[in-house]
Structure 1
C-alpha cells in the first residue's frame, strides 16, 4: 500500500464551528486586527507559516495547518478547529497550483473575507509551462558541449525524458519565497498600516538571507552545471534547476509516485537502470512518502553507491525556512562532491 492518498476534506456545518469557538487557538480574528490586535494568519503548511511569521514578527498570529513532517500534505483532512481558524483569519496563505486545494475548499465553506495569498501566483512561475525549462537548457548545453564525464553519464539520452508538467513545489524556489515574503509584508501592511514599515523591513531582511542561499546555489552550478540527478518526486526540482542539475528521472515514474499510482514494470526498470548503469550522481528521496517502488529505487541507489539526499515538504522540527534550505544545499553539495 502506498502511504499517499488524494486530499480529502471534512467541512463542518457552521453551527458546529460556532460551538467549538471557545477551544480554537492561533487565530485572533479580523475584528481584533481592526482594533489593534495581532493580525490573524492561517497557512497551509509550516513552511508558509514560518515565512508569514518572519514577515510579520510578533504582530502576526499564525496558525499552521500542517506542521508534522511525517504527514503528507496531499492527504490532509481538516478538523473543526482549523475550519474555525480560517473563518476568523485576516490573511490565508496557500501554495496553490493544486498542491493544497483543501485551503480553497475551507475558505469557500467558511465565508471569510480574508485575503488569500497564493504562492504560485506570487512566484510568477507559469503553471502552463514545464517546471524544469532550465534543466532542459542545461541538457541541451550538455549535448552541445559534451565532456567525457557527460558522455559517461549518457547526457545525450536525457532529451528523451519529458518533464513538462508544472512542479507545484514552489517552496523550493528561493526567489519565489523572497517574493512571497514581500507580498505578505505588503498585505500585513494593508491590514495594519501603522506597522507597514516594520513588515517591509522584515521581508527585506529575509530577502537578504535568501540572496545568500541563491549565491550558494549559483556556486554549485558553476562546479556541477549539467550533472545528472534523480528524484522520487519533483520536490526539490526548483533548487536543482538553480544549481544547473539535470533531472533524468522518467517522468512517468515521478508522476505516478506523486499521484499515488502504480508504476509500470517497464518504467520502474528504466528508473532502476539509472543507478545500475551509473547514470546519475545523486538521488533526492522524499522522506514523507514511500511505496514499494520508491523503496526499490532507494535500494538501487544504495547498492550502486549513489548518494541519497533526503528531502521533505514540511519544515523539520526546530528549523526555520532559511536553516532548512541551508541544510538542503549543504547536503546536495556534499553528495555531489563525493
Structure 2
C-alpha cells in the first residue's frame, strides 16, 4: 500500500520533465560512438524485475542480469534510484527498460553510458510519443511491421498505456531486441541468445493463444479494473473495461478518486455489471479497497494483478500465465 497517495503523481511530473530533456535513443541504440566492450558475459541492467526476467530468459547463463526495482509489495512508480543504481546503469553493457515516464531515470543515467539500449515503449506504433512523452528514433520498419499488433488497444487518459509489459506481442519484440543487443556485445554467444529469444516467443505465442480462446468465448464481456494496468491484455482477450475513467486515472496518478466515481464503481459491482474486478495489488488506497470489498460482497470474481513479479516468481511467462489463469477462472465462474 502506498504511504503517500500524491507522491506518485509528483514523481511522474518530475519524470516527464526529465524525459523531455533526455537525449533521443533508439530501441536498441548506443549512447556513445565507441559502444560497449566485447565480452563473453555481458552485464545487463533492467529497470524492473519484469524486464529483468525477459532479459534473463534471453541472456541465460551467458549474461549477468540486474534488476533495479524488485520489491513485490512496493509501487514501481515511486522507485527512486540510488547512486549505486545510477552507477550500475552507467557501467552496463545492455540496458532493458520500459521507456516513457515509467522509468525515465534510466535514460538520464545512460547519457554517460556506452550500453546498448532496449527501450520497450519505443516499439509501440506511435513510439514513446504515444505515451505522452518525448519520442525516440526507431529502427527502420519497426513501426510499420508491428502496427497491426497494436491496433485498437485501449488508451489511458494521457495516450497509450505506459504498462507495455502487459502487451505480450511487444514483450516478444523486446526479447528479440535484447538478443540482438547481446549478440552485438557478445558475438561468440549470438546464436545462444537468439535461440533463447525464439523459445521465449514460443511461450508468448502460447499465452496469446489462451487470450484468443478467451476472446472466442467471451468477446465483448464487461470487466472493471481499478487502474488501466492491463488494457493491452484485456484488448487482446476481447474484454471491455467499464470502470469509471476518472476513477482509474486518479488511481494511476496517485490521487484519491472522487466520491461520485467511487459510487459509480460501487454501483456497477453491486449490480454485477462487470464479470470480474481486476485489482492492481500495488496501487492500493482507501477507494480501491472499498471497491474490492464491494466486489467480494457482491460475489464478483477478483483477478489480482501486479506491476512487478510476485515474491518467489522469476519467470515472466509463468507470471503472466498465472494471471491469465485467474482471468480464465473468473470469466468461467
TM-score grouping bracket, smaller chain normalisation: 0.7 to 0.9
Counterpart-to-counterpart distance in 2, 1:105 and 1:318: 31
Which residue pairs with 2:96 in the alignment?
Answer: 93
Counterpart-to-counterpart distance in 1, 2:152 and 2:124: 16
Identify unmatched segments of 5+ residues in structure 2: 15-33, 133-148
- Per the alignment, do residues 51 and 135 of structure 1 end up closer, same or farther by CA in structure 2, a change over 3 Å counting? closer
Which residue pairs with 1:249 in the alignment?
Answer: 243
Which residue pairs with 2:139 in the alignment?
Answer: none
Picking from 309, 314, 322, the partner of 1:327 is: 322
1:135 CA drift (Å): 6.7
Counterpart-to-counterpart distance in 2, 1:47 and 1:92: 13
Which residue pairs with 2:280 in the alignment?
Answer: 286
Is this contact kept in 2: 1:135–1:247, CA < 8 A? no
Name the stretch that deviates more: 195-204 or 163-172. 163-172
1:238 CA drift (Å): 1.1
Q: Which has the larger radius of gyration?
A: 1
Q: What do you get for the CA RMSD once the two structures are aligned?
A: 2.5
1:34 CA drift (Å): 3.2
- Per the alignment, do residues 323 and 242 of structure 1 end up closer, same or farther by CA in structure 2, a change over 3 Å counting? same
- Per the alignment, do residues 229 and 164 of structure 1 end up closer, same or farther by CA in structure 2, a change over 3 Å counting? farther
- Per the alignment, do residues 56 and 124 of structure 1 end up closer, same or farther by CA in structure 2, a change over 3 Å counting? farther
1:123 CA drift (Å): 4.1
1:235 aligns with 2:235: no
Counterpart-to-counterpart distance in 1, 2:298 and 2:156: 25
1:118 CA drift (Å): 0.8
Counterpart-to-counterpart distance in 1, 2:188 and 2:228: 41
Counterpart-to-counterpart distance in 2, 1:180 and 1:46: 14
Is this contact kept in 1: 2:163–2:230, CA < 8 A? yes
Equivalent pairs counted in the alignment come to 290
Map 1:150-165 onto structure 2 (within 5 A).
Answer: 165=159
Counterpart-to-counterpart distance in 2, 1:283 and 1:101: 30
1:63 aligns with 2:66: yes
Is this contact kept in 2: 1:93–1:116, CA < 8 A? yes
Is this contact kept in 2: 1:42–1:64, CA < 8 A? yes
Map 1:243-282 onto structure 2 (within 5 A).
Answer: 243-282=237-276
Q: Secondary structure at the match of 2:224?
A: strand
1:222 aligns with 2:225: no
1:79 aligns with 2:82: yes
Is this contact kept in 1: 2:153–2:232, CA < 8 A? no
- Per the alignment, do residues 292 and 242 of structure 1 end up closer, same or farther by CA in structure 2, a change over 3 Å counting? same
1:227 CA drift (Å): 0.3
Which residue pairs with 1:128 in the alignment?
Answer: 130
Is this contact kept in 1: 2:48–2:69, CA < 8 A? yes
TM-score (norm 2): 0.81
Q: Secondary structure at the match of 2:47?
A: strand
Counterpart-to-counterpart distance in 1, 2:263 and 2:241: 17
- Per the alignment, do residues 163 and 67 of structure 1 end up closer, same or farther by CA in structure 2, a change over 3 Å counting? same
Identify unmatched segments of 5+ residues in structure 1: 10-30, 137-160
Which residue pairs with 2:145 in the alignment?
Answer: none
Counterpart-to-counterpart distance in 2, 1:97 and 1:119: 9
Which residue pairs with 2:109 in the alignment?
Answer: 106
Which residue pairs with 1:119 in the alignment?
Answer: 120
Q: Secondary structure at the match of 2:160?
A: coil
Which residue pairs with 1:300 in the alignment?
Answer: 294
